[in-house]
Structure 1
Amino acid sequence: MTANVEVDPPTAPTSEPSALTHLESQDGRSFVARGPGSERPLPGDYLELEGEDGILAFVEEVSDEASGTGFAATGTLIQVGGGPGPGRPTDSPWHEVPVRATRPDTVQRLLSGADSRLHLGHLAGQEAVGVALVPNRLNRHTFWCGQSGSGKTYALGVLLERILLTTRLPMVVFDPNSDFVRLHEKAVQTETEDEDQAHALHDREVVILRPDDDQSPLRVRFTELTPRAKAAVLRLDPVVDRAEYNALLRLFAGDFHTVDAGQVVPHLHSLGDPDAEALAQRIENLGILEWTKTWAFGAAPVTEVIARRPAATVLDLGSYERHEEQLTVALAVLDDLWARRAERRPLLIVVDEAHNLCPPDPETPLGVAVRDRLVQIAAEGRKYGLWLLLSTQRPSKVHPGIVSQCDNLTLMRMNSRDDLDQLASIFGFVPRGLLAQAARFRQGEALLAGGFVPMPSIVHMRTRVTPQGGTDVPVPMP
């Protein structure tokens, strides 16, 4: 006789992520989670607390247990929902709470926001989770860096498009490599959403100023430069070259008025003053009047264009033949913005390849003047609505007094340990575990941290709506 044995029906497979071990928190804010090595998370991952809806554990550091068979993850507890951004849960301690990998929909509530146009891209490894821009936190300086080939410039274009689409914050772009001169054009797209966004961008006023464009020239007026800027252009030291410097001051303090730089030298020659004659010879010897693509000669200067605040003004500095011309135009614009600071009109100042304008040790008086003005804007400009966005390949190539004032960070692939250590020391709010991953980023991946994103996140940047102005030169093939 055979006994009847009841067999439980097979359990249906579940899509729930498998549980890790447990989480401990003494203060209800930070945590330690321990589990087997097979379930090891990465810095930047999120864990769910079992039975606690709306509370996530954000992993910042992961290390091996002393036994070598498991891991210990540390980080911050976050309250999801109930406001525009993440908050803190209660200060109550947690003991032996089971945790598991977070479902994408839970992370989406934290990072994605309500408007897909705000998405800079998607969370690396989770295409369903968009990472949203927090536009009202662009009122802080931003540092944007990544080594050559990381996709830094393309990703910066994504950010500029999102700003144009979702805010009314005007911007001026210093573009030394002509990478953003097509910010007013539409890239070839197939998706309906991209087409709609391209049309929305087309409705924004984007002004492209080029040195050799008769319709939209990028020019400045020598006569309207500050005394220090004029002296920097002429390589005059107020003490060493005191006679010529004084002649320069007297020239524009008197009855001489003109908008034409070409009239300055003849007027100096006509004065019969040996110091004025020496100043005229200096101008001729330096070839300043040969900068025909720099001086306005009666045309509207760039400062007047920026003063009326188009949605974006792109300055094509890359089309100048001399670096001194780039510096002169940049100095004229920055000085004018600083002179108008009391107007408190918000403006995002985007400086691509920022090491060209604000290196730690400039070699010329013009370079020093530009760097010093940017240092001043970094230190004091925020309260006047002048906000910097600086993009470069290495943090060490930009003056530390500027980098240290930045509250937002975008970091793309970076192999140099020294550079990563420098960033860690400056941006203490960014978990070191996330910074350490930058050496393994693929092209187009970026660590975003600071107030302009909901949480520090490793993001795969979205496709641009406008075309890239500059591209790599291909290798010739048979």
Structure 2
Amino acid sequence: MSDLTIGSMTDDPTESVRLDPRRFNRHTFWCGQSGSGKTYALGIVLEQLLLHTELPMLILDPNADFVRLAEARSGAPAAHAEHIAQSDIRVFRSGHGEGQKVHARYVDLSPAAKAAVLQIDPITDAEEYNVLLHWDAGAADFDADEMLREFRASGDPARVRLANRMENLQVLEWDLWSRGAGSVVDVIDERPAATILDLGGFDHPAEPKVAALAVLEQLWARRESRRPLLIVIDEAHNICSPEPRTAVERALTEQLVQIAAEGRKFGLWLLLSTQRPTKIHPNVLSQCDNLGLMRVNAPRDIAELADVFGFVGEDDIRRAQGFAQGQALFAGGFIAQPTFVQMGERVTEEAGGDVVVPLRTDPV
């Protein structure tokens, strides 16, 4: 077992800082405002996990920041580059570009999740919900057009209303659905070294959240297998809001709260990355035992972090207000004591670097 070298001490660049990989069997909170170097630094930790552990990772990637995790950077150590190249890293893309697609099966969703997607309330829309509850369709033979025809031909008013709802909302036309074919859930179940789901290219704003819900539901349903998985959620505020507004957001938040509270004993461990702690549901944030903190300026956020992560001194947390880009505080189970770090260099290519301002080559 090797510790994960992530950088050097801020007050002694000659001394390396290492994390204990065994302690990623606890939930981790990763925080830093825009421009702090949060995504680049997170990539360093994920690379180190690939290089020094056999812990499979699922990365929910809303901005396609990690889709090049399998590509070694020019100048990276040869041994590291070779290991990364040989690792089983699967990348699934959303949108209309090339590559394997993020696909899920509508029929695999729980009845409650199906209803959330269709904006069906179990009380207000009791008859339509009941149709969904008793509707049985196999993944292999599912055909959306045939289903709509059968519902309308049945003469059952509830089935007709459900068919109209599906058609009016155009839910069955989403690019997310595999329409009976393979699902990313099947791939994740194989436990590759890393499975990266680029969720940023879907046309409908609900599709990324439904994709995450489909995956998390199936992981929870299969939790008794106790097969370890680190679930990395970048820009986690999009998936784990403290104030979910839609039925899909509520279902997604409830599933994450359950995983945060009970998932550790089943080997389902979270790594949540976001800009502000106040944008994450408190019942998830409070379950995190590891902290990676980069620059955060807002006094409210500093106070929240000090309150939730009581094992870190408030003065240490306040130092985050003055961090330069790439500086971080690490604390919790994966490091012996709270430590201030200058993050190191990436091994792989960063896919989501900032867009630069174009300058004139012939200034006036």
Alignment TM class, shorter chain as reference: over 0.9
Alpha-carbon shift at residue 227 of structure 1 (Å): 0.5
Identity %: 50
Pairing 1:208–2:208 present: no
Alpha-carbon shift at residue 351 of structure 1 (Å): 0.4
Matches within 5 A, 1:459-474: 459-474=341-356
SS of the aligned residue for 2:195 comes to strand
Pairing 1:264–2:153 present: no
Alpha-carbon shift at residue 251 of structure 1 (Å): 2.1
Distance in 2 (CA, whole Å) between partners of 1:120 and 1:459 is 8
Distance in 2 (CA, whole Å) between partners of 1:330 and 1:163 is 22
Partners of 1:222 and 1:261 within 8 A in 2: no
- Pick the aligned partner of 1:243 from 113, 121, 127: 127
Distance in 2 (CA, whole Å) between partners of 1:337 and 1:424 is 32
Tell me the number of residue pairs that the alignment of Structure 1 and Structure 2 aligns.
359
For structure 1, the 5+ residue unaligned runs are 1-113
Pairing 1:226–2:110 present: yes
Distance in 1 (CA, whole Å) between partners of 2:194 and 2:97 is 17
Please name the residue that 1:130 is paired with: 16
Letter in 2 for 1:289: L
Please name the residue that 1:391 is paired with: 273
Partners of 2:236 and 2:273 within 8 A in 1: yes
SS of the aligned residue for 1:323 comes to coil
Partners of 1:233 and 1:328 within 8 A in 2: yes
Matches within 5 A, 1:404-415: 404-415=286-297
Alpha-carbon shift at residue 308 of structure 1 (Å): 0.5
Distance in 2 (CA, whole Å) between partners of 1:255 and 1:431 is 54
Structure with the higher helix share, 1 or 2: 2
SS of the aligned residue for 2:179 comes to coil
Matches within 5 A, 1:62-101: none
Distance in 2 (CA, whole Å) between partners of 1:297 and 1:304 is 14
Partners of 2:55 and 2:230 within 8 A in 1: yes
Distance in 2 (CA, whole Å) between partners of 1:125 and 1:260 is 62
Partners of 1:261 and 1:295 within 8 A in 2: no
Distance in 2 (CA, whole Å) between partners of 1:215 and 1:265 is 31
Alpha-carbon shift at residue 452 of structure 1 (Å): 1.1
For structure 2, the 5+ residue unaligned runs are none
- Pick the aligned partner of 1:286 from 141, 161, 169: 169
Partners of 2:51 and 2:83 within 8 A in 1: yes
Please name the residue that 1:6 is paired with: none
Q: TM-score, normalised by structure 2?
A: 0.95
Partners of 2:292 and 2:330 within 8 A in 1: yes
Distance in 2 (CA, whole Å) between partners of 1:248 and 1:270 is 17
Distance in 2 (CA, whole Å) between partners of 1:349 and 1:375 is 13
SS of the aligned residue for 2:135 comes to helix
Structure with the higher strand share, 1 or 2: 1
Alpha-carbon shift at residue 125 of structure 1 (Å): 2.3
Residues 151 and 214 of structure 1: CA distance in aligned 2, closer, same or farther (over 3 Å): closer
Alpha-carbon shift at residue 180 of structure 1 (Å): 0.5
Pairing 1:313–2:195 present: yes
Residues 263 and 131 of structure 1: CA distance in aligned 2, closer, same or farther (over 3 Å): farther
- Pick the aligned partner of 2:240 from 349, 354, 358: 358
Letter in 2 for 1:141: H
- Pick the aligned partner of 1:164 from 50, 59, 67: 50
Residues 257 and 459 of structure 1: CA distance in aligned 2, closer, same or farther (over 3 Å): closer
Partners of 1:223 and 1:258 within 8 A in 2: no
Please name the residue that 2:324 is paired with: 442
Distance in 2 (CA, whole Å) between partners of 1:237 and 1:261 is 22
SS of the aligned residue for 1:121 comes to strand
Partners of 1:170 and 1:347 within 8 A in 2: yes
Letter in 1 for 2:308: I
Partners of 1:118 and 1:132 within 8 A in 2: yes
Distance in 2 (CA, whole Å) between partners of 1:386 and 1:434 is 30
Partners of 1:223 and 1:261 within 8 A in 2: no
Letter in 2 for 1:152: K
Partners of 2:9 and 2:342 within 8 A in 1: yes
Alpha-carbon shift at residue 445 of structure 1 (Å): 0.4
Distance in 1 (CA, whole Å) between partners of 2:44 and 2:71 is 14
Residues 390 and 244 of structure 1: CA distance in aligned 2, closer, same or farther (over 3 Å): same
Letter in 1 for 2:62: P
SS of the aligned residue for 1:437 comes to helix
Q: TM-score, normalised by structure 1?
A: 0.73
Partners of 2:231 and 2:271 within 8 A in 1: yes
Please name the residue that 1:373 is paired with: 255
Please name the residue that 1:62 is paired with: none
Matches within 5 A, 1:9-20: none
Partners of 1:146 and 1:412 within 8 A in 2: yes
Structure 1 stretch 117-126 or stretch 376-385: which is displaced more? Answer: 117-126
Residues 256 and 302 of structure 1: CA distance in aligned 2, closer, same or farther (over 3 Å): closer
SS of the aligned residue for 1:319 comes to coil
Alpha-carbon shift at residue 451 of structure 1 (Å): 1.0
Partners of 2:105 and 2:179 within 8 A in 1: yes
Distance in 2 (CA, whole Å) between partners of 1:270 and 1:124 is 70
Letter in 2 for 1:150: S
Partners of 1:410 and 1:446 within 8 A in 2: yes
- Pick the aligned partner of 2:40 from 151, 154, 158: 154
